[in-house]
Amino acid sequence: MNVAPEFAASTRVINLAENIPVAGVAAATDWDLDTLGYTIAADATDNADGALFTLHPVTGELAFQVAPDFENPTDADRDGIYQVRVAATDPGGLVSYQIVTVAVSDTNDNAPIFTSAATATVVENTAVSAVVYTATRTDADVTAAYRNVSYSIKAGVGDGVRVAVNAATGAVTLLAPADYETETSYLFVVVADDSVNRSERIVTLNVVDVNDNAPVITSGATGTVVENAATTTVIYTGLRADADVTAAFRQVTYSVKPAVGDAAMVAIAPTTGVVTLLSPADFETKTSYAFTIIASDGLNTTEKSVTVNVIDANDSAPVITSGATGSVTENAATTTVIYTGTRTDADVTAAFRQVTYSVKPAVGDAARVAINATTGAVTLLAAANFEVKTSYQFTIIASDGVNATEQAVTVNVIDTNDNAPVITSATTGTVAENAATSTVIYTVTWTDADVTAAFRNVSYSIKPLVGDAARVTIHPVTGAVTLLAPADFETKTSYLFTVVADDGINRAEKAVTVRVTDRNDNAPVITSAAVGSVMENAATTTVIYRATRTDADVTAAFRLVTYSIKPLVGDAARVAIHPTTGAVTLRASADYETKTSYVFTVVASDGVNSAEKAVTVSVVNIDDTAATFTSGRTASVFASATLNPVVYTATVNDSADVSQGVAFSLAAADATLFAINATTGAVTVRGATLAMKGKTYTFTVTATDKGGAKKAVSQLITLTVS
């Protein structure tokens, strides 16, 4: 007999966490051991939620078609408890039923959702205790425990290290007060964590700038102004810096602090900071201005004490304090000061008080006086003479380089009995040598500026013990001078004496020179030696001998000589002489091997008298013949590893002439491979000859005389390396 399947109970309760689709397995027992089929009994009144499930017909697995969500139940009465009636049917058609209740429980499956904004603001300098941002959130989970969150700041992101958050309240604070000038915003990430799920919010905290920085006056503490400068002249300009970023906070107004220093004497432009004086500066009354400028940005102010120094200007002319007259005694020395200019100057600066004195040109007697530019002392350029000029008029100028003052001056000349006779005869005379002692060699004449005849009578004399006074005599009335012995030009070319004219009170003297007229009566004397020398092969322009001479005659014309070679004497035909300089040269270069000396006679003539000198010039032998090679043109060596071996030795014969030895050398092109000893002629290889094996090389050796004409000879050498 077929027995119907049986469920363990007519009802079953399954507790299932949300989001799990499989609720369980329907399992019935069939005593006939038949294979059962499972279905959902759709027609049952207690199958309200059956449409939400699937039931496997063989295994009996009961599953939600859509995994249940505790926060959003879909059961018929929306209480999260689902009811379904399942049926187990055997092959004979017998059915057994079970009512299954699935109770869905809540899980923490929803992350918090931030509701607070992504931006916030904070005024700079706000205390660190102030909350600058508060994180808020919602959570879809129903269970209160799943809705509890902990707030934190995400590490390593933006400015996270500069902020802190209250883990429970989400209140964010700064770790240091905000400073707009260094940081205009903070970027950080707030994390909300319900222990299973977490959410993040990127937050930008903008800093609001405030006027919290006072201006800093950067202009200096000093300035300058030239005295008398216009009142529009800028004597100082206030400059400032301000750490605030906002332009409005950087706008400043300048002012001068009242009642401080010279505040009442200056003005300042409130916008530009330009300071000017209210009246022009005068260094003589005030050398500096002290004031304090203020820079205010409307909230903060800064002060700076300023000193503006007045630069003295040369604005005061000198005032000449010396009088308008002076006097000088006639004949006073030209060093005598006839007037001294003095002055005062209102300028303070010493340099502006320095004056230079001058005489105004082209006014009165300006050309007759001189003034010391520094002391103002006036002197005459020529001693005053009352008989010619009784006074001098001139104008002095005192200049400080910018300003000048003038003073007209008259200096009166004081007359004296001061005129001595004036000898009008010349200071020179002449006499022919050997002339008779009765010959007048000089005659004195005179004038006298004095008018009185008695002052004009004179007697003549020779001033004793002066020059040649003992050799001459003078007539006391006529002034005729004669010699006591005839003149001889060769022993004395002139006579020096002083004639005296005496009017009884004053006397005048005149130094006189009487020149003796020379005659050509002495022959030249050749003073150059009788020998000379010349290097063989020297150019024909080489001077082999130079004639010199003396002549007892003093007159230059009588001492002029003409040189010549005496013809037909010795080697006269082989030499030439310069008629003026006496330089002797060969007509052909000397050759020691053919002639060892030259003999000739030099003649010196002054046009009236002549002198001769026999001369021998020796030829100096030099090495002018090149050497000849005695070493061969070929050489051979065996290749070896020896470094720098000698491969050839050059030898020469230099006996054909006087010799100072030879210097050996190689052609430049051969120097990279070979070297030669300049003294021994030994040629060496640079390196070893091993690499040269089986090759033939050529090089050129040159032997150059060390002395004389430095003649050179070369020979090409062929070297074989085997």
pLDDT average, residue stretch 609-636? 91
Tens of pLDDT along 385-435? 887 898 999 999 999 999 999 999 999 988 776 778 999 999 999 999 889
Which residue spans of the chain are classified as CATH 2.60.40.60? 6-105, 113-208, 216-311, 319-414, 422-517, 524-620, 628-721
Going by C-beta distance under 8 Å and a sequence separation of 6 or more, which residues neighbour residue 132? 120, 122, 126, 163, 172, 173, 174, 205
Tens of pLDDT along 504-515? 888 999 999 999
Instruction: Quickly count helices (H) and strands (E) in the chain.
Output: 4, 63
Say which CATH superfamily domain 524-620 falls into: Cadherins (2.60.40.60)
Helix-, strand-, coil-residue percentages of the chain, each rounded to 5: 5, 45, 50
Say which CATH superfamily domain 319-414 falls into: Cadherins (2.60.40.60)
Distance CA 648, CA 636 (A): 8
Distance CA 370, CA 404 (A): 18
User: Using 50, 70 and 90 to split pLDDT, how confident is the model at 452?
Assistant: low
Closest among 109, 105, 169, 168 to 140, alpha carbons compared: 109
Tokens read off for 601: 């006679």
Q: What are phi and psi of 580, to 5 degrees?
A: -100, -45
Query: How would DSSP label each residue in 664-684?
Result: EEE-GGGTTTEEE-TTT-EEE
pLDDT reported for residue 48: 84
Question: So what CATH class is 422-517?
Answer: mainly beta
User: Using 50, 70 and 90 to split pLDDT, how confident is the model at 661?
Assistant: confident
Query: Letter for the amino acid at 102?
Result: V
pLDDT average, residue stretch 572-589? 97
Tokens read off for 213: 């920085």
625 pLDDT above the threshold of 80:
no
321 pLDDT above the threshold of 60:
yes
pLDDT reported for residue 451: 58
31 pLDDT above the threshold of 90:
no
Strand partners, 717: 699
Query: How would DSSP label each residue in 141-190?
Result: --SHHHH--EEEEPTTSTTGGGEEE-TTT-EEEESS---TTT-SEEEEEE
Give percent above pLDDT 70 in the chain.
Answer: 98
Class of residue 556 by CB neighbours under 10 A (exposed 0-12, middle 13-18, buried 19+) = exposed
Closest among 346, 158, 341, 304 to 218, alpha carbons compared: 304
CATH 2.60.40.60: does it fit domain 113-208?
Answer: yes
CA dihedral (625, 626, 628, 633) in degrees, to 10, reads -160
Q: For residues 391 and 407, is the Cβ–Cβ distance under 8 A? A: no
Tens of pLDDT along 42-81? 766 778 899 999 999 999 999 999 999 998 999 989 999 9
Strand partners, 194: none
CATH 3.30.465.10: does it fit domain 216-311?
Answer: no
168 pLDDT above the threshold of 70:
yes
User: Using 50, 70 and 90 to split pLDDT, how confident is the model at 342?
Assistant: very high
Beta strands per DSSP E along 47-92:
53-55, 61-64, 81-89
User: Strands 531-535, 610-620: parallel, antiparallel or unpaired by DSSP?
Assistant: parallel
pLDDT reported for residue 395: 97
Instruction: Give the neighbor-by-neighbor strand order of the sheet with 583-586.
Output: 543-546, 583-586, 575-577
100 pLDDT above the threshold of 70:
yes
Distance CA 154, CA 75 (A): 41
pLDDT average, residue stretch 106-116? 91
Question: So what CATH class is 628-721?
Answer: mainly beta
Strand partners, 191: 152, 200
More confident residue, 257 or 346: 257
Tens of pLDDT along 206-219? 999 999 899 999 99
- For 228-263, b where at least 16 C-beta lie within 10 A, e where not — what string? ebeeeeebbbbbbebebeeeebbebebbbeeeebbb
- Secondary structure element (H or E) that encloses residue 352, with its range: helix 350-353
pLDDT reported for residue 663: 93
Q: Which of helix, strand or coil describes residue 286?
A: coil
pLDDT reported for residue 455: 65
Tens of pLDDT along 148-167? 999 999 999 999 999 999 99
Closest among 585, 581, 587, 569 to 532, alpha carbons compared: 585
Class of residue 189 by CB neighbours under 10 A (exposed 0-12, middle 13-18, buried 19+) = middle
Tokens read off for 457: 């009578």
pLDDT reported for residue 659: 75
Radius of gyration of the chain (CA): 68
Distance CA 537, CA 657 (A): 14
pLDDT reported for residue 124: 95
Q: For residues 526 and 611, is the Cβ–Cβ distance under 8 A? A: yes
pLDDT reported for residue 554: 82
Distance from CA of residue 414 to its chain's centroid?
67
Strand partners, 301: 296
Distance CA 710, CA 663 (A): 10
- Secondary structure element (H or E) that encloses residue 248, with its range: helix 247-250
Distance CA 190, CA 456 (A): 135
Tokens read off for 253: 């107004």
Strand partners, 156: none
CATH 2.60.40.60: does it fit domain 6-105?
Answer: yes
Q: Work out the number of other CB atoms within 10 angstroms of the CB of residue 534.
A: 22
Q: Tokens 């409307």 correspond to what residue?
A: 298
Distance CA 383, CA 413 (A): 10
Q: Which of helix, strand or coil describes residue 452?
A: coil
pLDDT average, residue stretch 20-45? 87
Distance CA 197, CA 366 (A): 116
Tokens read off for 324: 């308008």
Class of residue 588 by CB neighbours under 10 A (exposed 0-12, middle 13-18, buried 19+) = exposed
pLDDT average, residue stretch 21-43? 88
